[in-house]
């Protein structure tokens, strides 16, 4: 096929911007052929660019030459059109298209490039195979749904940048080639050619750099930063992902919260949604008691402790541990489950840490009618609601600690609350259609997603759809039964509560961290902490973690030294940008909101990475292939 040259031709308008007000206007448009319909003397092209789609008409009588060329045009050809905007006849108006009241009457057609038939069409809504989409990502990204996500992401990131700049934050870049950072995942390593046998690590987060920026007196730092973690992948993980990372000098915990609320509200506004601030705030213990999770989904009924309902004899005959909570898990409107459904649901329950599930309340009712009636009453469950009981199993003894601080949850209690909480989450996902509690969120996203792109300011109320909540006062340590050691629950620069410091060694389980999470609708959006700023405290923490001075020095020596040169109190947080965009796009996977993501097997199918490298490269790096 003979292609036309672009010559001096210049685009005057984009396809999606044309409206009736432009009736009669001369235009030059450029874009991709979305569809072609040949009606003999008339050929219609739907021309697509980022802004949208407009209908082009080529009339054999009016422009015979262009009409003839249009016969050879195929979907995804790149063309330029010279023509005039005109009002469509009443019968031809398409109310589903923003440009549906007009069409462009072509006078000239330039075929700038042809295209192979793509493996799937950007014009189709249903595109099945994700591997194909990722391999031909450039075709996939042409789809309006993907373009919307990319644009939304841009608008959100821009809004966040503006907001943080207004709040006095400086955007500062930190290196990608650095040394191991303390987030606890596996590093991606980069071999040094200049220093054979030595490696850079890609940052798991800018953690130590941002703390050093505070030591450097820069007061308020932020970065929309890429982080690299070589972890086993889950559906909502990517080996490289983006965080909105910030750090500030002299904050209280609440100072950090107000900053985040400000930029998150701005991000939501960019997607057309009003997110009311300030957010709710609960402690970790309370979150576990009420939701069985440290990332509570507040759209569903809370857990209810129904211990009081059962007498000692009931508890004994049910094989329940009387020292632990007895929890009612309540999901509205699910209806009674069949035996088969109950069996299918059992794998969703994790009883490994000594929890026990009673999922047949009908049967329980036969032996304990009064108790079950009282459970229903306490849980405020209607007859058509699903009700289950999770309790401690008297027959399994779990090695776990009990804290000595009155009013705080012990590890064994936490195990029961978590078992109930994850069952609640799993079942609520499974029965989402029946209980309908998530529909409000989807509804608001859909409504907002319909907003025209140039809308300024948020207009849709998100208060009944999005439930952001701060979770505070996490435990500082977690007991690892395998090594029988107290392990840091967070990175080792997280400050303990000042008043808990003296119990660091005598009762680690009772020590609270000045650590906080932001959760929303059952997802963790981010976490942060007030940091340790004194060298003596930092050493104490390292030793309470069983890390020797040498080991600490070897890993973080540069940072420990920096701590000695006038370190101010400081703290910060990082929120996952990919996840925020995913929520606001109403997407089911992070891959829908990242332009070039990796698969669940950590592979980039488009560029085919990772890939072997040449012998020469290996030799330069003095890396040897393993034989055999």
- Give contact residues for ligand ASP (rule: CB under 6 A): 183, 205, 207, 527-529, 572-574
Please, what is the minimum distance in Å from the beta carbon of residue 595 to ligand ASP?
A: 22
Instruction: Count the Cβ atoms, other than its own, within 10 Å of residue 453.
Output: 12
> In whole angstroms, what is the distance from residue 240 CA to residue 228 CA?
5
β-pair type (199-201, 515-520): unpaired
Q: Which is nearer to ligand ASP, 529 or 567 (CB)?
A: 529
DSSP annotation of 22 reads G
Q: Is 205 exposed, middle or buried (0-12, 13-18, 19+ CB in 10 A)?
A: buried
Q: Shortest approach of ligand ASP to residue 291 CB, angstroms?
A: 21
Contact between residue 516 and residue 470 where contact means Cβ atoms under 8 Å apart: yes
User: Smaller CB distance to ligand ASP: residue 36 or 161?
Assistant: 161
Nearer to ligand ASP, 389 or 476 (CB): 476
In 170-187, which positions are buried (b, 16+ CB within 10 angstroms) versus exposed (e)? Answer: eebebeeebebbbbeeeb
Q: How far apart are CA 81 and CA 111, in angstroms?
A: 9
**DSSP per-residue codes, 340-387:** HHHHHHGGG---TTSEEEE--HHHHHHH-HHHHHHHHHHHT--TTSEE
Cα 397 from chain centre: 37
**What's the min distance (Å) between Cβ of 439 and ligand ASP?**
32
In the complex, the smallest distance separating the C-beta of residue 283 from ligand ASP, rounded to whole angstroms, is 18
Q: Taking each helix axis from N to C terminus, what angle separates 144-166 and 253-270, rounded to the nearest 10 degrees?
A: 140
Cβ neighbours of residue 156 under 8 Å, at least 6 residues apart? 267, 270, 271, 577, 580, 581, 584
Give the other-Cβ count within 10 Å of 361's Cβ: 19
Q: At closest approach, how far in Å is the CB of 515 from ligand ASP?
A: 8
> Closest CB to ligand ASP among 38 and 171?
171
Q: In the bound complex, what is the minimum distance in angstroms from residue 531's beta carbon to ligand ASP? A: 8
Give the shortest CB-575-to-ligand ASP separation in angstroms: 9
Measured from the CB of residue 249, what is the shortest distance to ligand ASP in angstroms? 14
Distances (CA, A) of 616 to 38, 42, 190, 529: 56, 60, 16, 46
- φ, ψ of residue 60 to 5 degrees: the values are -60, -35
Per-residue burial over 334-356, b = 16 or more CB atoms within 10 Å of its CB, e = otherwise: beebeeeeeeebeeebeeebbbb
- Report the alpha-carbon distance of residue 613 to residue 193 in Å, rounded: 14
Taking the least distance from each CB to ligand ASP, the nearer of 157 and 574 is 574
d(CA 552, CA 178) in angstroms, rounded, equals 17
Alpha carbons 504 and 476: distance in angstroms, whole number: 9
CB of 204 to ligand ASP, least distance (A): 7
Nearer of residues 301 and 572 to ligand ASP, judged by Cβ:
572
Residue closer to ligand ASP, measured from CB, 222 or 417: 222
575-600: b or e for each residue (b if 16 or more CB lie within 10 Å)?
bbbbbbbbbbbbbeebbbbbeebbee
CB of 518 to ligand ASP, least distance (A): 11
Which one, 205 or 249, has the nearer CB to ligand ASP?
A: 205
Based on CB atoms, which residue is closest to ligand ASP, 231 or 350?
231
Q: Closer to ligand ASP at the Cβ: 225 or 361?
A: 225
Least CB distance from residue 513 to ligand ASP, whole Å? 11
Continuous segment of H or E residues that includes residue 552: helix 549-563
Output the smallest distance, CB 572 to ligand ASP, in A.
Answer: 5
* CB contact set of 121 (below 8 Å; sequence gap of 6+): 75, 76
Instruction: Measure the CA–CA gap between 190 and 610, rounded to whole angstroms.
Output: 13
Q: What is the enclosing helix (H) or strand (E) of 134?
A: helix 130-135
Q: Of 225, 220, 215, which is closest to residue 167 (Cα–Cα)?
A: 220
Smallest gap from Cβ 174 to ligand ASP, in A, equals 11
Which letter does DSSP use for residue 573 in this model?
E
| Alpha carbon distance 417, 325 (integer Å) | 8
Between 327 and 469, name the residue whose CB sits nearer to ligand ASP: 469
Tell me how far, at minimum, the Cβ of 187 lies from ligand ASP, in Å: 14
CB closer to ligand ASP, 245 vs 359: 245
Measured from the CB atom, the residue of 187 and 413 that comes closer to ligand ASP is 187
Q: How far is the CB of 239 from ligand ASP (least distance, A)?
A: 14
Relative to beta strand 468-472, strand 280-283 is parallel
Rg for the chain (alpha carbons), in Å? Answer: 30
Between 272 and 572, CB nearer to ligand ASP: 572
The residue among 263 and 349 lying less far from ligand ASP, judged by its C-beta, is 263
């Amino acid at each position: 096929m003979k292609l036309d040259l672009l010559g001096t031709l210049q685009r005057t308008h984009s396809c999606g911007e044309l409206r009736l007000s432009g009736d009669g206007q001369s235009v030059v448009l450029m874009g991709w052929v979305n569809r072609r319909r040949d009606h003999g003397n008339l050929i219609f092209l739907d021309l697509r660019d980022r802004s949208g789609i407009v209908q082009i008409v080529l009339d054999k009588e009016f422009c015979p030459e262009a009409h003839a060329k249009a016969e050879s045009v195929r979907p995804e050809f790149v063309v330029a059109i010279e023509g005039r905007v005109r009002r469509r006849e009443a019968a031809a108006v398409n109310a589903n298209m923003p440009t549906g009241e007009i069409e462009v009457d072509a006078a000239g057609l330039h075929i700038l490039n042809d295209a192979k038939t793509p493996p799937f069409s950007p014009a189709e809504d249903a595109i099945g195979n994700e591997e194909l989409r990722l391999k031909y990502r450039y075709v996939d990204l042409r789809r309006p749904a993907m373009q919307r996500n990319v644009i939304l992401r841009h608008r959100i990131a821009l809004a966040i940048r503006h907001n943080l700049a207004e709040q006095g934050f400086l955007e500062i870049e930190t290196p990608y080639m650095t040394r191991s950072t303390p987030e606890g995942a596996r590093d991606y390593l980069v071999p040094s050619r200049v220093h054979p046998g030595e490696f850079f690590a890609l940052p798991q987060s800018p953690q130590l750099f941002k703390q050093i920026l505070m030591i450097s007196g820069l007061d308020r730092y932020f970065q929309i930063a890429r982080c690299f973690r070589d972890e086993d992948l889950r559906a909502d993980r990517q080996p490289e992902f983006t965080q909105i990372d910030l750090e500030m000098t002299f904050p209280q915990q609440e100072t950090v919260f107000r900053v985040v609320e400000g930029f998150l509200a701005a991000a939501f506004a960019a997607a057309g949604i009003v997110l009311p601030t300030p957010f709710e705030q609960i402690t970790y213990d309370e979150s576990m008691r009420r939701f069985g999770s440290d990332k509570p989904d507040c759209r569903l009924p809370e857990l209810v402790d129904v211990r009081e309902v059962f007498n000692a004899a009931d508890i004994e005959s049910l094989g329940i541990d009387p020292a632990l909570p007895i929890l009612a898990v309540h999901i509205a409107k699910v209806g009674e489950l069949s035996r088969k459904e109950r069996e299918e649901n059992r794998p969703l329950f994790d009883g490994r840490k000594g929890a026990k599930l009673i999922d047949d309340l009908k049967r329980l009712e036969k032996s304990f009618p009064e108790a079950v009636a009282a459970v229903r009453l306490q849980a405020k469950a209607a007859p058509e609601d699903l009700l289950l009981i999770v309790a401690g199993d008297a027959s399994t003894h779990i090695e776990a600690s009990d804290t000595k601080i009155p009013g705080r949850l012990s590890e064994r209690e936490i195990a029961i609350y978590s078992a109930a909480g994850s069952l609640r989450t799993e079942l609520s996902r499974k029965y989402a259609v029946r209980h309908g509690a998530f529909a409000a969120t989807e509804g608001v996203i859909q409504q907002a997603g319909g907003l025209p792109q140039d809308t300024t300011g948020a207009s849709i109320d998100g208060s009944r759809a999005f439930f952001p909540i701060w979770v505070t006062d996490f435990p500082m340590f977690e007991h690892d039964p395998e090594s029988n050691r107290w392990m840091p629950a967070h990175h080792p620069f997280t400050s303990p509560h000042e008043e808990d410091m003296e119990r660091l060694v005598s009762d680690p389980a009772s020590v609270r961290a000045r650590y906080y999470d932001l959760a929303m609708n059952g997802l963790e959006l981010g976490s942060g902490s007030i940091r340790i700023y004194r060298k003596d405290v930092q050493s104490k923490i390292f030793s309470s973690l069983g890390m020797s001075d040498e080991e600490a020095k070897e890993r973080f020596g540069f940072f420990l030294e920096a701590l000695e040169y006038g370190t101010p109190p400081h703290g910060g947080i990082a929120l996952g940008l990919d996840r925020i965009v995913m929520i606001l796009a109403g997407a089911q996977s992070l891959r829908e909101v990242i332009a070039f993501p990796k698969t669940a097997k950590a592979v980039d199918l488009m560029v085919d990475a990772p890939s072997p490298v040449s012998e020469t490269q290996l030799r330069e790096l003095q890396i040897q292939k393993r034989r055999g």
